[in-house]
């Protein structure tokens, strides 16, 4: 099962891909640079820690019936 990267990393990758597409006209060169970008980002030790942390921090939330108000009174 694949885990999502943090939002800041996804934003960085999106911006770098856009820069590569703007500046490099050769499609093969674009693909090569984008592959290198992903390899660089995934090999980063901080990313590995973040991905493993999100995997281990799964929280289950259950609502009890007492937590939900049954009647709502409007105050004028």
Q: Report the predicted TM-score, pTM, of the whole model to 2 decimal places.
A: 0.55
Cα gap 51→54, rounded to integer Å: 5
Please, which pLDDT band fits residue 73 given cuts at 50, 70 and 90? low
Mean pLDDT of the chain: 75
Using one digit for the tens of pLDDT, what is the confidence trace for 21-55? 999 999 999 999 999 999 988 887 766 565 555 44
Cα gap 54→48, rounded to integer Å: 10
Confidence at residue 58, expressed as pLDDT on a 0 to 100 scale: 46
Confidence at residue 26, expressed as pLDDT on a 0 to 100 scale: 94
Contact assessment for residue 41 and residue 13, using Cβ atoms and an 8 Å cutoff: yes
| Domain coordinates in residue numbering, the chain | 7-60
């Amino acid at each position: 099962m694949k885990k999502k990267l943090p939002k800041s990393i996804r934003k960085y990758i999106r911006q770098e891909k856009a820069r590569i597409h703007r500046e490099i006209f050769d499609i093969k060169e674009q693909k090569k640079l984008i592959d290198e970008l992903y390899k660089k980002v995934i090999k980063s030790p901080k990313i590995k820690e973040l991905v493993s942390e999100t995997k281990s921090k799964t929280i289950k939330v259950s609502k009890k019936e007492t937590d939900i108000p049954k009647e709502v009174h409007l105050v004028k």
